[in-house]
Amino acid sequence: MVARLGRSTLGCLFSLLIAAAVGYFAVNAGESYWRFYQFQDDMRQEVNFARERTDDQIRTRLRASVDSLGLPDDARRISIRRSDNGISVESSYDDRVEMPMYVKEIHYRAHAEGRL
């Protein structure tokens, strides 16, 4: 029988540790983007029903979405523009994603527009 030196086991363990660390921080960034995607989807939904709702109703519903998604307070600044045949809703904010020894600020601009 040949004795094992153990190097291959430690190499595998180290690789798994690196993969777990990368996965952990990818989840943080992915969660930030997922919340942005849900907020933008809520905006599209409000644009679809803009004929039946006032600007204040739309703004109130989107601010509730900001609160439920846990977005930064800057996202509560929602701009709504109506024209004769269309509507545009927009908000922008910065979200923080924590990395090891580094914090990344990601700028998001949620936007939806449609016809009335």
- What's the confidence (pLDDT) of residue 7? 55
pLDDT the model gives residue 40? 97
Residue 31 has pLDDT above 70, yes or no: yes
Determine the Cα–Cα distance for residues 43 and 28; give it in Å rounded to an integer.
Answer: 23
Instruction: List Cα–Cα distances, 48 to 5, 66, 86, in angstroms.
Output: 65, 19, 11
pLDDT tens, residue by residue, 74-101: 999 999 999 999 999 999 999 998 877 8
* pTM for the structure as a whole: 0.80
- 79-82 and 102-115 as β-strands: parallel, antiparallel, unpaired? unpaired
- The pLDDT value recorded for residue 18 is 82
Return mean pLDDT, the chain. Answer: 89
Q: Of 21-30, 46-55, 72-81, 95-104, where does mean pLDDT reach its minimum?
A: 21-30
d(CA 29, CA 68): 19
